[in-house]
Amino acid sequence: MNNFTEEQYKYIEKIKTITSEYQTIPKCCIVTFGCQMNAKDSEKLLGILLSCGYEETDDEEIADIVIFNTCTVRENANQRLYGRIGQLKNSAMKNKNKIIGICGCMMQEEDEVLNIKKKYPYVKIIFGTYNIHALAEILYKALTTKEKVYEVLKEPIAIVEDLPIENKFKFKCGINIMYGCNNFCSYCIVPYVRGRERSRNEEDILNEIKFHVKNGVKEIMLLGQNVNSYGNDKNDENINFVNLLKKVVKVEELKRVRFMTSHPKDFSYELIEVIKENDKICKHIHLPIQSGSNDILKSMNRKYTREEYLELVEKIKNNIEDVSITTDIIVGYPNETERDFEDTIDIIKKVEFDSVFTFKYSKRTGTKAAEMAGQVDDSVVTDRFNRLLEVVNEVVGSKSKKYINKIVEVLVEDIEREKDMLVSRTGNNYLVYFKSNKYKIGDFAKVKIVKSHGFYFTGEEV
């Protein structure tokens, strides 16, 4: 444990002394807006707050502390945040001790912090992506000085290990293998709010995995903006994603390993082989393509062509049986022509993706694309977006039919009470609903797929 971590434990102890004197156990609520990495950060925040003597609630109104963990990848994420803080005004006015905090990617943008300062004075704490580990210290200041604590760092501090963490699910969790991104895709804000790539030490990653597995976790997802460049910032060529995966699968009792996100430019043949040879590695690859047009890909700074992408997909499909490939698409990127858009439609049909996350281009201040002439008209974007959805539904629907009557192994994740069904997931990431009295959340089960509903299946226990 290093000095920073020790310091934070001291603050946790100090807050515990304060909260133990409250008449009732104080409640905390964490609201997550972002991606898996943000969700993982929220688990760290919750771990710290529980250690400080709080208990969790999902009711923002009654919570003594509410923390919004924000995302800024697209404009609508920002709008959602402002709506939610606005709704809390009354309860913040009524309860002067209530602490409303905001952290995460959006807080790395100065203009947003200024806006909050001006329009939402009842927000008491603000911190960014680089100091989420200092929550106890920040909260202690807020509790003891009654003043606002706004602390956003411009650069990352060292990678912090060994602080408390509380998993949202008992049976699965994400594991950060690296932070930040070096790719600077021209539309994307992430490198500006998460900094450059920093890989965690192998040993720390493996220890964390073993810790969670000991506590019942069966499936992990290795997380990074571009997991394929894991280790590039270390001075040791043996430290890379393929070697990491080989070590991770050796953790006994761990049943499934997923990872995300893979950048097509760095997806190696060695990686395909490791996936193919290890039963524990799920046969699902999220491989964002963003666009099917070479001109747009070039302008986006993605560093691959549609031909290279197709070639990679062929290699993956030829080597890994029943692999599912999913992707992200942006429509309406600056200067996207009808021809470019048709190239995107064409590649979706050619690849036959198992699922596609579709986004309308959103202009992010500070990125290269935001400065470009030729921003596409809203009505054109909406029209293309709708046409894209139709094609996606068609492709995904017909692709999924091939699984009908197959027997698959699933991990039960949830219960859908209304339908009285279990919700489960296959290794290649399809959702399967089925009825059962035998299985519970966290169990593996064998299920026969009966019907396809496009994005999910219904099945029967076998």
Give residue 5's identity as a one-letter amino acid code: T
Rounded to whole angstroms, the Cα distance separating 264 from 183 reads 12
Binding segment (CB under 6 A) for ligand SAH, from list 161-169, 187-195, 337-345, 424-432: 187-195
User: What residue 105 binds from ligand SF4, ligand F3S, ligand SAH, none (CB within 5 to 8 A, per partner kind)?
Assistant: ligand F3S
Percent of residues in the chain assigned helix, strand, coil, to nearest 5? 40, 20, 40
What track of x and - describes contact with ligand SAH for positions 382 through 421 (by CB under 6 A)? Answer: ----------------------------------------
- How far out from the chain centre does Cα 111 lie? 24
Total site size for ligand SAH, rule CB under 6 A: 17
Closer of 383 and 461 to ligand SAH (Cβ): 383
Is 281 a binding residue for ligand SF4 by CB under 6 A? The answer is no
Binding segment (CB under 6 A) for ligand F3S, from list 32-40, 109-117, 353-361, 382-390: 32-40
Q: Which of 190, 222, 392, 447 binds ligand F3S (CB under 6 A)?
A: 190
Is 328 a binding residue for ligand SAH by CB under 6 A? The answer is yes
Is 37 a binding residue for ligand F3S by CB under 6 A? The answer is yes
Rounded to whole angstroms, the Cα distance separating 447 from 424 reads 10
Residue 223: beta bridge partners? 176, 260
Rounded to whole angstroms, the Cα distance separating 83 from 99 reads 17
Q: Residue 220 to residues 93, 110, 128, 173, 257: CA-CA distances in angstroms?
A: 41, 34, 26, 5, 5
Question: Would you call the peptide bond into 261 cis, given omega within 30 degrees of 0 as the criterion?
Answer: yes
Site residues (CB under 6 A) for ligand SAH, limited to 355-384? 359, 361-362, 364
DSSP 334: T
Answer whether 432's CB lies under 8 Å from 387's CB.
no
Q: Name the minimum Å distance from CB 208 to ligand F3S.
A: 19
Rounded to whole angstroms, the Cα distance separating 220 from 445 reads 18
Q: Which of 15, 30, 31, 35 binds ligand F3S (CB under 6 A)?
A: 35
The residue with tokens 């299985």 is 439
Site residues (CB under 6 A) for ligand SF4, limited to 188-207? 188, 190-191
Binding site for ligand SAH (CB under 6 A): 73-74, 187-188, 190, 225-226, 261, 263, 288, 290, 328, 330, 359, 361-362, 364
Residues contributing to the site for ligand SF4 (CB under 6 A): 181, 183-185, 188, 190-191, 225-226, 263
